[in-house]
Amino acid sequence: MKYAVVVERSDTGFGAYVPELPGCVAVAESEAEVRQLIREAIELHLDALREARISHRDTEAQG
């Protein structure tokens, strides 16, 4: 499944988040690094949801 990722630049680096996965975020000094970190964060986030047996669709209903 693909997710939209929002990447933002700040004075000190980059941040990224996934609107469909509340709490799934990453920060880094470079855009390339933040993109890699958010990919990893998505995998970890989905693994945790599966472990807890929660669908990511359920998190959307809460937000």
User: What pLDDT, on a 0 to 100 scale, did the predictor assign at position 22?
Assistant: 95
pLDDT tens profile 7-63 = 999 999 999 999 999 999 999 999 999 999 999 999 999 999 899 887 656 655 555
Q: What is the pLDDT of residue 62?
A: 58
DSSP state of 8: E
Q: How far is CA 6 from CA 27, 33, 34, 54, 60, in A?
A: 12, 14, 11, 23, 16
CATH for 6-62, options being 3.30.2290.10, 3.30.160.250, 3.40.120.10, 3.50.30.50: 3.30.160.250
The domains of the chain are located at 6-62
pLDDT of residue 18: 98
Tell me the whole-structure pTM to 2 decimals: 0.81
